Structure 1
Amino acid sequence: MAVSKDRLNDLINHLSDHDLELISDLVERLALHNVRHIPVDDEPTTQDDLEAIQAAHKAMEKGELISLKDIEHELRN
């Protein structure tokens, strides 16, 4: 999916100041580190993978989600 810079600007304009700080950190990391060289994972899905996906869906249904605060901490460190 192609996303234009104008669309990104529109989205950014709707963010709160608190969110801007987080997004700025993320965009800076993407801009400074070339992640295009990471190969696509072409390995087949294993039974362990399928079980992990199923467990994640069950956790989501139970409301056992990772908090935004934890995600923010992980992105900043």
Structure 2
Amino acid sequence: MAVSKERIDYLINHLNHKDLELVTDLMERLVQNNPPSDVPIDDEPTTDADIKAIKAAHEAMNNGELINLEDIEHELRN
């Protein structure tokens, strides 16, 4: 189903402020996960330092050492 930007504008203009915050958050996440097509792909080779950092991040994740996104959002909003 094709959706026009005019339809989206109409819907956004009829949201209350609380719902507008929620929709804005969702839209920002969608945009972050779908970068514009004119952004070049990172084609640099993965270095040993990169691999070490990735492994350390995976280990921290597996050990439960990372901060939950919901906790970060709560801290930023309060």
TM, length-normalised to structure 2: 0.49
Higher radius of gyration, 1 or 2: 2
Which structure is higher in RCO with an 8 Å CA cutoff and minimum separation 6? 1
